[in-house]
Each structure stands twice: as C-alpha cells, then as structure tokens.
Amino acid sequence: TTKSCRCLVITFPFSKVPSYFRELSFCAWKPVLIMACMMRARRLVVYQDTSIYWKDTIAELLDRGDKLGLQIWGGKDMHNIPVTTLKGTFDYFGEEPCAYLNYTSLQAGINVFKQTPFVVRTILEPWAKCALEPNCICPGCTINHLYCFKPKKEIHMCH
C-alpha cells in the first residue's frame, strides 16, 4: 500500500482502450502499464501480480534489478517459447516458432525494470508496441489459450 512504502499507485483508464485490451486475462495491458510507469519513474519500476506473496525481503531482487537493469523471474519447469506463444504472434513478427524451441518463457508476475535507455528502448517499447497491436500479443485469444500449466509440449497450446 502507499502507506507502507514509497510508491505511486496509478489508475489505468480501461474505458479508453480497445475491447481486446480490456480483457484482463489476456494481459495486453501489462506492458503498457509498465511503460507508463517507466515514463514517470526516476529509478526503478517494480511490477508484481496480486498473486505474488513474499516470505522474505525483496531487497535482493531490487538490488539485482538496479545493478543489472532488469529482473524477471524464470521459474522452474517453464515451457519453451513456442509452447506459450500463439502462432499469430510469430506470424506478426515474421518469425518461425521452431527457431525458439530451445528458449524458455519467462514469468511476468514479478519484474524489476531500471530506468535506462537500453531497458526502455530494447525491452519495454517493443513489448508495449506489440500489446497495442490486436494481432501481436494475443491474436485471436480465447480463455482456452491462457492455461499453460499442463506438462504438454505442443506448440502454440497457450498464449
């Protein structure tokens, strides 16, 4: 809460965005919200889903984010990128899914971004731009595409 930390709470104007963007489950709003926060940040932006709970201090995570410019949780037993990415996203970028079979997806539930030109231009701006395009971040998404918890390895089984 704002009482217990030095943080700024920003309200997002969902009524002013396209319908696909308003579907919270599709998470198209997330990179745009993070980018909007970055435009106001002096040093770091920390994004945390409401499902994340801390047992210990987050000081180490913040220190690594400050030192390295970025901290994103990879997690254990994550799927590779083509499993968690719809074919339409690869089509949008003109990429072949098989080129990404050896790369693991990252969680977006807790992220630390440092206010640097590299982080903003190479990570946040392209991610936010993709989110603003209806055929990029979740093309033709339905709720069935959101559940990636099965141990399957099928390409494009979820978002």
157-92-76 Cα angle (round to 5): 40
- Could you report the average pLDDT of every consecutive run of 10 residues in the chain (159 residues)? 67 78 79 90 88 80 93 75 86 91 83 95 93 83 58 58
Distance from C-alpha of 73 to C-alpha of 97, rounded to nearest angstrom: 22
Question: Count of residues for the chain?
Answer: 159
* Alpha-carbon separation of residue 128 from 13, 62, 134, 137 (angstroms): 16, 22, 12, 9
Beta bridge partners of 47: 111
